[in-house]
């Protein structure tokens, strides 16, 4: 073999579009919580639209996936979306975990997210919130054996101080232990009069998903005061550098009551893409 042919050959140059993808690739998957469009069913056109405008995944709410999880999985697969997580009741994790583990396996997600505690179940005592955390801990241990994980999702009430000045969010996460992750909802943190920057730093080692929910000024009535991401009062540019210090690899768009869910979805993802580069 001639010497020249034994020289190491340079790899073929990558196509321009692949170079662009590698240069702009982010660690984050962008997901849309389908609770946001619950008033505009059926859901099939939503999935097509979300894929079209650039979402990577959807986050699901009960009972959306309850009747036929396998069929719902096919629908999201067909449009090229993934399932980033499923919201589910805490009672389901405690009393019927097998059912929700099976849903998660069928839908192709590893993340189970109890997102809410009804007002009647919210204790005014610290021990009551520690008991919530203990339930999460037990549920997470069972989920781990299935290759799944549990993450708590906050609202504003977890930031309202109890009589002893403790905060429910701290009590429940401490009792839950490091085996329970945290899906932090920045909009609800803000409405709970807490500082999102401090919360991102405080729970950086627990946060695996960040909801970029935005809110208008207090007292705004239209759309219950929620806005597309980037249109509200939250300073995302100052918060974004803190994201990389968390464990989060999923960013979620959510809005509790949009007038136009398509406007919400498009404006939000356009802003997030500009934010994360």
pLDDT tens string 155-169: 999 999 999 999 999
Rounded to an integer, what distance in angstroms lies between the CA atom of residue 125 and that of residue 1? Answer: 82
Q: Which residues of the chain have pLDDT under 70?
A: 1-25
Kindly list the domain boundaries of the chain, sorted by start residue: 27-276
What pLDDT score was predicted for residue 114?
98
What CATH architecture does domain 27-276 belong to?
Answer: Alpha-Beta Barrel (3.20)
Distance of CA 210 to the CA centre of its chain: 5
Residue 272 structure tokens: 């997030």
Q: Is the pTM of this model over 0.85?
A: yes
SS3 content of the chain, % helix, strand, coil (to 5): 50, 15, 35
Tokens 């389908």 sit on residue: 34
What pLDDT score was predicted for residue 25?
59
Rounded to an integer, what distance in angstroms lies between the CA atom of residue 66 and that of residue 100? Answer: 9
Paired strand residues for 185: 211
């Amino acid at each position: 073999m001639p010497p020249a042919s034994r020289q190491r050959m340079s790899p073929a140059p990558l196509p321009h579009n692949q170079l662009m993808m590698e240069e702009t690739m982010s660690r984050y998957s962008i997901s849309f919580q389908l609770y946001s469009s619950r008033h505009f069913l059926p859901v099939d056109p939503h999935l097509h639209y979300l894929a079209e405008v650039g979402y990577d995944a959807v986050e699901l709410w009960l009972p959306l996936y309850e009747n036929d999880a396998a069929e719902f999985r096919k629908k999201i697969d067909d449009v090229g979306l993934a399932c980033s997580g499923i919201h589910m009741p805490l009672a389901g994790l405690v009393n019927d975990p097998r059912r929700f583990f099976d849903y998660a396996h069928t839908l192709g997600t590893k993340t189970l997210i109890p997102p809410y505690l009804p007002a009647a179940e919210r204790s005014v005592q610290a021990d009551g919130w520690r008991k919530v955390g203990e339930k999460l801990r037990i549920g997470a241990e069972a989920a781990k054996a299935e290759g799944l994980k549990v993450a708590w999702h906050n609202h504003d009430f977890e930031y309202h101080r109890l009589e002893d000045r403790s905060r429910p969010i701290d009590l429940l996460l401490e009792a839950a232990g490091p085996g329970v992750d945290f899906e932090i909802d920045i909009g609800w943190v803000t409405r709970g009069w807490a500082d999102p920057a401090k919360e991102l730093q405080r729970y950086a080692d627990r946060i695996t998903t960040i909801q970029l929910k935005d809110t208008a000024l207090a007292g705004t009535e239209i759309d219950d005061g929620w806005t597309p991401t980037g249109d509200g009062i939250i300073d995302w540019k100052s918060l974004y550098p803190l994201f990389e210090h968390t464990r989060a690899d999923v960013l979620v768009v959510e809005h509790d009551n949009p007038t136009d869910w398509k406007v919400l979805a498009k404006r939000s993802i356009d802003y997030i893409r500009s934010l994360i580069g």
